[in-house]
Structure 1
Amino acid sequence: MSYIIGASSMLIVGILDDMYDVKVRVRLLVQLISAIVIVARSGIYFDYLGQIDGLGSISLGGVGMAITVLFFMTNINSYNMVDGVDGLLGMLSLISTITLAIFISAIGFLGEYFKLSDFMMLLSFLFIMVSFTCYFVHTSKFNKQ
């Protein structure tokens, strides 16, 4: 539920930004609040980075939630930057989703770490991205030359 609230608020601001040119501060504030809501309400955050050669075990302790929020905001803004190039965001999302689906199914994570419903949702997203990318490539300004 927290993901739906955070994603919906960013979707609304994105639509408003396309229509009325929302200021950067407002967009960053909505992204920050959305990321905090998702991390705080879901309880999923980075708390341990693992064993790193020469440094040993790295635990994030109390800053794990803040680092996870920073991670969310970095990813949101990197996708926002890529969105300016026709078709690039769709292709990157498609490649990421295909790679994740292959890893989940080929390595045997299905059933151990991921439920079948999670995998089916991933496949649904994959098919949506294929449809979106095919449509966008067909209607792209690069195709009209």
Structure 2
Amino acid sequence: MHDDNPPGIFRGWLVLAGLFITMAVTSGLGFYAQGVVLDALVVEQGFSVSVAGAGTGIFFATSGIAGYFAGGLLSKFDARLVMTIGSLIGATGLALLGQVRNETQMVIVMIIFGIGFALTSLVPGSTIVTRWFVRKRSVALSIASSGLSL
């Protein structure tokens, strides 16, 4: 993407390494931890399984809808800004998740967390990879996406 890089390693590979780690963290906290979150809401907060499960559904629905808007934000703003704001939103949602005491709070927190997840995961990650890589783009996308499965 950038022709002004000094000779040596292509800086895109460093960006890709960061995206790999980001994908691993966001998918681990947002996607794979939902079962743990559901159990905690049921056992520790006394929610019914159906209510806690609805929270998980709200998280995924919100992240899907917000992912659509993430694409628009990425076309208007720098991807670093979008992902930084997404990280702050996601971290806020994650921190608030431990403070949830009723269903209304759960819904609000899951919406916040879903927005943060959408702004830091697959849509921005794929966008950044395609902006940095022309040659070996498919390899780079595969590496970044591999972070999702860790």
Q: TM-score range by the shorter chain?
A: 0.3 to 0.5
Higher RCO, 1 or 2 (CA under 8 Å, sep at least 6)? Answer: 2
Larger strand proportion, structure 1 or 2?
Answer: 1
TM-score normalised according to structure 1 size? 0.33
Larger radius of gyration: 1
TM-score normalised according to structure 2 size? 0.32
